[in-house]
Amino acid sequence: MIWGTGVFLAGWLAIALPLIIIGDRALRLPTFALALAGGFLGGLLMLSPNLFVRVTHPTAHWTPFSLGDLAWPGIAFPVGFAGVALYRMFLSRKHHLAQPSIGS
Q: Are 11 and 42 in contact (CB under 8 A)?
A: yes
For the segment 2-24, the average pLDDT, to the nearest whole number, is 77
Question: Residue 101: what are its φ and ψ, rounded to 5°?
Answer: -75, 150
Distance, CA of 20 to CA of 24 (rounded, Å): 9
Q: pTM to 2 decimals?
A: 0.73
Q: Are 73 and 44 in contact (CB under 8 A)?
A: yes
pLDDT in tens, 40-79: 988 988 888 888 888 888 887 776 778 888 888 899 899 9
Average model confidence (pLDDT) for the chain? 81
Checking if the pLDDT of 90 tops 60, the result is yes
